[in-house]
């Protein structure tokens, strides 16, 4: 998202007669602030202006003077910092929306920084005449073939992968063509802004998982049919929909704003390997129920996080993914209920019944050992490149590291931060590929992803970390925990 620094007039909804001049500043990483020349006030029926200090404002309306004169803006969830300054959580550029009931939309277009290499569709070809007998012929033909759009249904509408282009010319000097893919969601019914945010975030998460780095938003634009484009006089243009751009602090804010441009060969799981637009539609339906798991998983690529916290986040994501998608139990639920009643009736004094119920609440859940092995087995023959040559040692290392970091006994041996990182990296790769496998990644795509990971040269570091943390196998077999 592009920064914004504009001046304009601002007021509380319903109190347009009390406009205040101010400056609105937005930065994608730092968020938005509103600086006013005078405090905002409410106007009573008798005409008296009342300043209400210290309160969070759900909405502030404005008309910004640049870059488009008289452009309406809605500032949402504005925190009062002092009498003439508010922190703004979200900005809608292009319309006034007084409350949540009005802040609903028919469609959204999401543009992501890494969408082009992830989607991986060639659109521009260049044909250059080579020199003949040392003479430079100086001829070049550039051709744009816009890829066709593709679409798929999900439970609340349809998602479309479309392509747009633009050109920039400087007379006698330069000619530039830009082509980019975008994700369009057309909803079946008017959809609240909170759901739009969720869908945009889920597209961001899917791209980040597939490209193996935190993506960023280039733009998010929403539309409504009752907000058409306007001519300079203010008259509506029939059959059009005005762009309403969202500006907010979104994505992984710990990442650097300047990053290397990603190429298609850098992408771990291209969109076609994932299953194309149909996989995106499936993801939009399934991702909301997995949000805590996905968030914990993506912390692997976050800056500024301790090795211990990173490992615990990834182990939590692995357990959560297994619980949500595989499930299972140690014994059948009916047999477990019978066993629990027998133990409670015959061996637990009444004063300890509450404690016993708490202890047994998750006693029939699969062990961490079992969860890890079932995740590993789902990846089949690809697994040795992710966990090493000894699955038993890998499972033992994960369990020992997790127990070491959750049971903070005085005599515990501290773990090396580098070893924790590589062990977390291995568990992250297993969990991520299991998740993407359920979205729809093909067997061939899975094999290509694993080969790509192996080529990145982290296998030996991961294998060494597993061996150091796991230690020798116990003589009588490891306990199931």
Radius of gyration (C-alpha) of the chain in whole angstroms? 28
Q: List Cα–Cα distances, 92 to 209, 249, 278, 422, in angstroms.
A: 28, 13, 30, 42
Tens digits of pLDDT across the chain (481 residues):
889 999 999 999 988 888 999 999 999 888 999 999 998 888 888 878 887 766 678 999 999 986 556 789 999 999 888 889 999 999 999 999 999 999 999 999 999 999 999 999 888 888 877 666 666 666 778 888 899 999 999 999 999 999 999 988 888 788 888 889 999 999 999 999 999 999 999 999 999 999 999 999 999 999 999 988 888 777 888 888 999 999 999 876 655 556 788 898 899 999 999 999 999 999 999 999 999 999 999 999 887 788 899 999 999 999 999 998 887 778 888 888 888 888 988 888 988 889 988 888 878 788 899 999 999 988 887 788 888 889 999 999 999 999 899 887 777 788 889 999 999 999 999 999 999 998 988 888 888 888 888 887 778 888 899 999 998 887 665 554 5
Handedness of CA 285, 291, 293, 295 (dihedral sign): positive
- The separation between the first and the last C-alpha atoms of the chain, rounded to the nearest angstrom, is 46
Extended beta strands in 319-381, E state = none
| Distinct helix (H) and strand (E) counts, the chain | 14, 16
Domain ranges of the chain: 4-93, 104-216+251-287, 305-328+365-470
Burial class (CB in 10 A: 0-12, 13-18, 19+), 277: buried
- How far apart (Å, rounded) are the C-alpha atoms in residues 429 and 453? 9
Burial class (CB in 10 A: 0-12, 13-18, 19+), 378: middle
What count of other Cβ atoms lies within 10 Å of the Cβ of residue 399?
21
Handedness of CA 230, 231, 233, 239 (dihedral sign): negative
pTM of the model: 0.87
């Amino acid at each position: 998202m592009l920064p914004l620094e504009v001046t304009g007039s601002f007021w509380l909804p319903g109190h347009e007669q009390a406009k205040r001049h101010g400056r609105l500043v937005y930065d994608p990483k730092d968020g938005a602030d509103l600086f006013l020349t005078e405090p905002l006030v409410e106007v009573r029926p008798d005409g008296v202006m009342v300043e209400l200090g210290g309160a969070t404002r759900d909405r502030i309306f404005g008309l910004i003077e640049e870059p488009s004169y008289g452009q309406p803006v809605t500032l949402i969830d504005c925190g009062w910092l002092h009498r003439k300054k508010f922190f703004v959580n979200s900005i809608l550029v292009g319309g006034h929306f007084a409350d949540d009931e009005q802040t609903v939309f028919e469609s959204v277009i999401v543009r992501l920084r890494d969408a082009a290499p992830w989607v991986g569709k060639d659109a521009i070809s260049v044909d250059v005449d080579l020199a003949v007998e040392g003479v430079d012929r100086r001829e070049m033909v550039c051709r744009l073939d816009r890829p066709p759009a593709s679409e798929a249904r999900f439970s609340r509408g349809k998602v479309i992968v479309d392509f747009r282009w633009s050109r920039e010319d400087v007379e006698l000097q330069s000619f530039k063509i830009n082509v980019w893919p975008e994700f369009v969601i057309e909803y079946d019914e008017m959809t609240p802004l909170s759901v739009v945010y969720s869908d945009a975030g889920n597209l961001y998460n899917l791209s980040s998982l597939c490209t193996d780095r935190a993506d960023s938003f280039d733009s998010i634009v929403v539309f409504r049919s009752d907000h058409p484009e306007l001519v300079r006089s203010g008259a509506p243009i029939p059959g059009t929909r005005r762009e309403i751009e969202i500006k907010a602090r979104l994505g992984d804010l710990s990442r650097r704003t300047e990053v290397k441009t990603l190429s298609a060969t850098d992408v771990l799981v291209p969109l076609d390997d994932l299953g194309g637009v149909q996989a995106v539609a499936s993801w939009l339906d399934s991702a909301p129920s997995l949000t805590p798991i996905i968030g914990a998983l993506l912390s692997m690529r976050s800056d500024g996080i301790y090795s211990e916290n990173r490992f615990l986040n990834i182990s939590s994501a692995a357990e959560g993914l297994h619980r949500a998608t595989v499930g299972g139990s140690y014994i059948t639920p009916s047999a477990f209920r019978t066993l629990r009643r027998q133990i409670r009736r015959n061996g637990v004094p009444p004063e300890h019944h509450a404690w016993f119920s708490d202890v047994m609440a998750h006693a029939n859940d699969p062990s961490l050992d079992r969860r890890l092995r079932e995740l590993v087995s789902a990846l089949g023959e690809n697994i040795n490149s992710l966990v090493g040559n000894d699955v038993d040692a890998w499972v033992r290392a994960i369990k020992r590291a997790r127990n070491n970091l959750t049971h903070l006994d005085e005599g515990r041996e501290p773990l090396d931060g580098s070893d924790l990182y590589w062990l977390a990296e291995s568990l992250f790769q297993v969990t991520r590929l299991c998740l993407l496998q359920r979205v729809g990644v093909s067997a061939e795509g899975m094999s290509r992803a694993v080969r790509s990971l192996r080529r990145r040269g982290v296998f030996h570091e991961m294998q060494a970390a597993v061996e150091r943390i796991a230690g020798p196998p116990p003589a009588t077999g490891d306990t199931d925990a």
